[in-house]
Amino acid sequence: MRLNSPKLNIMYKACMKASKSLIRDFGEIENLQISSKGPGDFVSSADKRTEKIIIDELLKAYPDYGILSEEMGKINEKNKTNRWIIDPIDGTSNFLNGIPQFAISIGYEEENEIKNGIIYDPIKNELFFAEVGGGAFLNNSRIRVSKKKNLKNSLIGTGGPRSNSKLKDQIFKEFFEVSYNTETPIRRFGSASLDLANVACGRFDGFWQRELSYWDIAAGIVIIKEAGGFIDFLDGKTDESKKMNIVASNSIIHNELVDLIKKKNIENN
């Protein structure tokens, strides 16, 4: 594996250490599902356990780097230059239901730009990673986005809406519109980081989703770009404390996908 940059190396170590405990925890889920209490509390402690292992490893290597992590929030907030962006389990509902589609996602940000990203699917043992200027990889192989030329023949993924979303009607209209313009049914796999990894390695030709958080997408941003793809914010980049609306693609079908999503919204206004 070509993890020959110091940052990627540390991220990899943290990720592998955390994934051992995560796989063990996933093995417990089946037993808990049939118990009357259900696995809810256990999953939230698995989330925290995984996060702690990752954060401890990263802080051991770079004690004064900032951290933005889903469960723990911010650490070393004063450091605005170097920051890790962490989602310890992306795909929690899948994890909770014993569905093997979840990942650890870690991005490294320098001067507000994501420089390195790792997305690890511990069940398939698939490690997606990239460093700015160094290309994107899946385990030992270089990855590239697909070469699909039009939306009609493309495989598109999405996610959401959240149960309490104020954008539900709009999101369903977008789904409707994209569905009418693609031959293969839209995929919804429930782990945004893996959805982005799927675009990067050409399994998906495009992906869009509203109301994501920065930790869902940070690692994916650099992995998609380094794989030759394009990732963009639907209504301009929002503040990281807010939800983000994104479109990612192989670049070629990007405008077609964005125009379709926006067309529907313009019609509604």
Q: Rule CB under 5 A: which of 19-78 touch Ca ion?
A: 70
User: Should residue 216 be labelled a site residue for Ca ion when binding is judged by CB under 5 A?
Assistant: yes
Q: Taking the complex as a whole, how short is the minimal distance between the CB of residue 152 and ligand IPD, in angstroms?
A: 25
> Facing residues of 143 across strands?
none
Check the CA dihedral 249-219-193-232 and report its sign. negative
Distances in Å between the Cα of 153 and the Cα atoms of 144, 182, 224 are 18, 6, 20
Q: Taking the complex as a whole, how short is the minimal distance between the CB of residue 209 and ligand IPD, in angstroms?
A: 6
Strands 244-249 and 113-121: unpaired
Q: Could you tell me how many residues make up the chain?
A: 269
Q: Work out what residue 212 binds among ligand IPD, Ca ion, none; the CB cut-off runs from 5 to 8 Å by kind.
A: ligand IPD
Binding residues for ligand IPD, how many (CB under 6 A)? 12
Q: Rule CB under 6 A: which of 160-219 touch ligand IPD?
A: 160, 190-192, 212, 216
Q: Taking the complex as a whole, how short is the minimal distance between the CB of residue 11 and ligand IPD, in angstroms?
A: 18
Rg (CA), the chain: 18
Say how far residue 224 (Cα) sits from the centre of its chain.
11
Among 57, 87, 109, 131, binds ligand IPD (CB under 6 A): 87
Q: Work out what residue 159 binds among Ca ion, ligand IPD, none; the CB cut-off runs from 5 to 8 Å by kind.
A: ligand IPD
Residue type present at position 143: I
Q: Pick the closer one to Ca ion by CB: 85 or 138.
A: 85
As a whole number of angstroms, the distance between CA 106 and CA 109 comes to 10
Q: Work out what residue 91 binds among Ca ion, ligand IPD, none; the CB cut-off runs from 5 to 8 Å by kind.
A: ligand IPD
Q: Pick the closer one to ligand IPD by CB: 190 or 229.
A: 190
Q: Taking the complex as a whole, how short is the minimal distance between the CB of residue 90 and ligand IPD, in angstroms?
A: 4
User: Should residue 174 be labelled a site residue for Ca ion when binding is judged by CB under 5 A?
Assistant: no
Residue with tokens 């369903």: 172
Among 51, 57, 87, 226, binds Ca ion (CB under 5 A): 87
Contacts of 116 (CB under 8 A, 6+ apart): 5, 7, 8, 11, 107, 108, 129, 130, 131, 132, 222
Q: Which of 27, 57, 56, 54 is nearest to 42 (CA)?
A: 27
Residues lying near ligand IPD in the complex (CB under 6 A) = 87, 89-92, 159-160, 190-192, 212, 216
Residues lying near Ca ion in the complex (CB under 5 A) = 70, 87, 89-90, 216
